Structure 1
Amino acid sequence: MKKSFPVLIMFALLTLLIPLAASALTGLGTKTPTPPASTAQSTPQAPASSQAGSTASSAPALDAEAPMLLLDAATGEVKTVAMRDFLIGSVSSEMPISYQKEAFKAQAVATHSYALASKAAQLLSPDAALKGAYLRVNPAAHEGYMSDAELRATWGDNYESNYAYVSAAVDEVLNEVLMYDGAPALATYYAISNGKTEASEAVWTTALPYLVRVDAPLDKTSPDYEVSTEMTAQQVYDALTLKFKALNLSGKPAAWFGEPTRTESGYIATIPCGGQVLRGVDVRAALGLRSADFTVTCSADNTFTFVTRGYGHGVGLSQFTANTLAVTGKTYRDILAYFYPGTTLATL
């Protein structure tokens, strides 16, 4: 337990910064409470290899069933939600109902772990903007969590069967969480990678030893893997200058972007733009792109085309690959061990 306190401090820093996840394939949610604007630099040694499967272990005393306090981003209200209801509402907003049960179980464990890590961080170092809550969600927009009312409105006549399917998956893993160094793991997730997951420090500057790069080639088989988005020069100008105040975009639009550098996973690390060198994740956020793995071209009529690969920040569990692995017979334990190497699966 001696290592848990520094780990929780790392969580406190990260959860000011990290979103729950990237948008799901169905568009039911953008998955993410907002992460820290800055974090202390931390670079623990990443494990050399992934475990073959998560190992069940005893865990320290944690109240895994205590209610979650959620800040509704739309209303500003802090809601108290039972953990089981939160998990059902969260995984339903995160994944298509067509996904395999083992994928839903993996998602439920990741969500539970993330929620407990976020709670621990807020109790240790509260973010005043959350008004005492542990996470920020937007049920009306299907982001991060959906209430029973939103689920009924979304599923309509399929509510009973869909709810039974999701709740059964959640109930099978209700008391299981991923642990690292005696504390719940900050198990982030997203819809589709670019073929490799991203290391946490590439997105949020802080390295966590279980959020490391792993291959996810199955994501390239997703019909939503590569998407082209067109924007006018004025739209790009407005979005960039709103986010980055000192940019000089006085030249021709075709010259606004320079040659990017990329991370080991292939996402854009930095890209020259308007006399500055911008982080790829910041450009992605400013332009509302699906991924930080993108190429940009500008036509003669000053129309920009951004081609993105993947959907989301790319750190942790890929929901598409999780489902594809489940189709091939992999269990939720296999899926979690692959995407979060070095963690253990504990029953609380």
Structure 2
Amino acid sequence: MNSRIAIDAMGGDDGLAVMLAGAARACLADPEPSFLLVGDEAQIAAALPAHPMLAGRAEIVHAPDVVSAGEKPSAALRRARTTSIGVAIDLVKQGRADAAVSSGNTGALMAMAKLALRTLPGIDRPALAAAMPSLGANDVVMLDLGANTECDAANLVQFAVMGAAYARTNFDLKSPRVALLNIGTEEMKGTDIIRDAAAQLKSAAHLPMTFAGFVEGNRLSRGDLDVIVCDGFSGNIALKTAEGTARFVADLLKRAFSSSFRSKVGFLISRPATKLLRDHLDPNNHNGAVFLGLNGIVVKSHGGANAAGVAHAIALAAKLVRDDLTRRISDDLRNFEAQTA
């Protein structure tokens, strides 16, 4: 399936330059997707000749306004029809694009996507899901990462169903291992909401996922799970902590290897191993968070992502369209509701 991706060309820390470079890199990796580049027409047209890979595969869609990084979602919503984020999402709503990718304001992107696309039947709230590096054969999907600070048991169950469908699609898994983030692994640990959600998931043996109970924060990346479910408050803290720890380890290694001549020699000897570590922890190699539960695919690229990171987010959007993630989520949720009824 040849996908058509709407790209918010003006979002992110470096804006147009990185978004176009990322789209060009995505062209090299995949000959199928075409792009709708949304933003200031004059600026995009002036920058396009530097990226010949986009010739014949990209069309400009004018949007005169840009949502700033610090703008409140409520204020951005009032300008949705003229902003690059809002127009990109509207292209998905109209069916002119199969997915939207933006590195812009996360709150505005979520608010506009939810208002324009609406949630799938049976989904109360969309969730933000991302893949985090792990010691396993694949990354681990974690959701929610900040879209919903407070959740009830039904929300957590819906997140689990959506996360499992996403893991099956993105990692080609038959029965993803799903766990709830908790303060302990014992059945009596945690809040009533978490225990209630666990009880419901235990009864979902008919779905293509394996419920693995509870997981503590110190085992998020061990590789023995595929999906970790939590409310957005806990998830956002866990994500930022993991990102900070990765940067700490990388900076500590850099300092250690530059501390003496002997250390520098040791670095040269161990360079293949340190490169492997650096690549595995590089957020650009895992870039692209997905708003699950909407009537359409919307991918959030990190605002500080480089061209490789943007290309990864675009490739993810194309894969989710190709593998029909939205239909998989709808089918799983319908099966779950039929069984529990």
Shared fold per TM-score greater than 0.5: no
TM-score when normalising by structure 2: 0.30
Of Structure 1 and Structure 2, the greater helix share is in 2
| Greater RCO structure (CA 8 Å; 6+ sep) | 1
